[in-house]
Chains A and B, each alone.
Chain A
């Protein structure tokens, strides 16, 4: 089932002086239960798309369905959690009050809400600041609070706009762990980023956006295929055997790493075992086997180039 469906969405920002086409016919689906990444460089239109999904901005054309409900209907947000980019909360209130308000909007009992708020604040290491006014929060603390506010009501769908910006390594770790956990419990997660690592770690599906257009949507299988690029094998032995190893099928030459240390690369994962057997036959001592994964960066750059 499709948790989020975006159909041919267009948005142009108009000001007196100029027009800026921010979203240009974006179309993709997010299936229930997956973690979906939304990747694109600065100014690609990610945030604009997300704001349209949240009905904060009105699309010129096209529509967004969330759990089958049009996003312009407030009921589409009943089981939804949202973290805007650079979230901000009414500054006079404390973090705790903010969370209590947020939960009350989802009709969660006060006691239950307080309980969850405490737990999550603990988890995200905000307990000390729970009763501080938000104006006294640091950027990262506000970001953490935003994450908590987006998940505290246990939504089915969580939409996050650059959730990890402003977070320190601990924050990132906590975030990723929580997201995985929520996903395991059945939540659909959609988040945007321009940092490939973040997406690579978490996502099963990725849509890549550039200049308001989807360049490519990479499925789970495609991603596996694209990212598993072979292995790098480092071994020790004499030069003759090493040269022979370099001539094995599916191996493009050998590299001398110094003294008696050599390395070869194999392109396909399935070929690992036969190659290892061959090395054994050649009496070469395998020191390490590293999987090579084409990172999204190169995919991204390549896709960008082809899109131009």
Chain B
């Protein structure tokens, strides 16, 4: 599995798409520039922007790196030459995932180093009333990483049964959007003001809420920006959720992929 993972990393760092995504790192330069446009929120804006940019880059990596690559493996029959080796499909698939996970981790670390730099620069321009709690920012980045690992896992799941490019690609994008909104919609529907909706509709939404990944639980941006106190039991729940959800997604992918005809 590790061999496949390293192979994945090696192939990825030679990919043009990867460089295109890496070039987004340059956008970090803009963080202090944009933050300075804000009047009294320079530090806050710089943290928000750094974290958002990190998310954005990870989103691209997960989609165009991870999901598109596994799909291409199957589409272009790269897997024929890879799977002719003494390796089972589980190892191959999980190795691919692990490889991209390593890339995502590495990029997160780079992003965080850049963030520390640009946040410090920005914070130096105007003294904010709020302290910068670096551990909060780190937690926010870790949770973002988990979120995109989960998203990539879902992309892999789609690839495991897809017969065309559209399913993994747009399927993942839809899950991304819905997963971001699910908690909001669920909250809205469970609030008292919505007794007018039909019960069936509510049950359907609740059912979906349990099935669709809940990405809101991985959003710690405000905690990082406003130096709020992080509730660590909450993080623990999110971690457990991540592990189990990813476990389900990947093992389900394996069940499907192991049966798939690689035509």
B78 partner residues in chain A, CB cutoff 8 A = 88-90
Q: How many residues of B contact A (CB 8 A)?
A: 25
| Distance to closest chain A CB from B21 (angstroms) | 14
Q: A75-B86, A78-B86, A133-B14 are in contact. Are A88 and B262 (CB under 8 A)?
A: no
Of the listed residues B14, B16, B83, B86, the one surrounded by the most CB atoms of chain A closer than 10 A to its CB is B86
Q: Which residue of A lies closest to B80 (CB)?
A: A84
Q: A92-B11, A104-B3 are in contact. Are A74 and B81 (CB under 8 A)?
A: no
A residues 92-113 in Cβ contact with B at 8 Å = 92-93, 97, 101-102, 104-106
Choose from B11, B16, B84 the contact partner of A80 (Cβ within 8 Å). B84
Q: Which residue of B lies closest to A11 (CB)?
A: B261
Do residues B14 and A92 form an inter-chain contact, with CB atoms below 8 A? Answer: yes
A58 partner residues in chain B, CB cutoff 8 A = 259, 261
Interface assignment of B77: CB less than 8 Å from any CB of chain A = yes
Do residues B10 and A97 form an inter-chain contact, with CB atoms below 8 A? Answer: yes
A80 partner residues in chain B, CB cutoff 8 A = 84, 86
Contact with B along A139-152 (1 / 0, CB 8 A): 00000001001100
| Distance to closest chain A CB from B31 (angstroms) | 31
Q: A87-B80, A97-B10 are in contact. Are A57 and B85 (CB under 8 A)?
A: no
B86 partner residues in chain A, CB cutoff 8 A = 74-75, 77-78, 80, 105-106
Contact with A along B12-28 (1 / 0, CB 8 A): 10111000000000000
Residue positions of A touching B, CB distance < 8 A? 13, 51, 54-58, 74-75, 77-78, 80-82, 84, 86-90, 92-93, 97, 101-102, 104-106, 133, 146, 149-150
In the complex, besides A54-B80, A55-B83, A58-B261, 17 extra interface pairs with C-beta distance below 8 angstroms are A54-B84, A56-B262, A80-B84, A82-B80, A82-B81, A84-B80, A87-B81, A88-B77, A88-B80, A92-B16, A101-B3, A101-B10, A102-B85, A104-B3, A105-B85, A105-B87, A149-B81
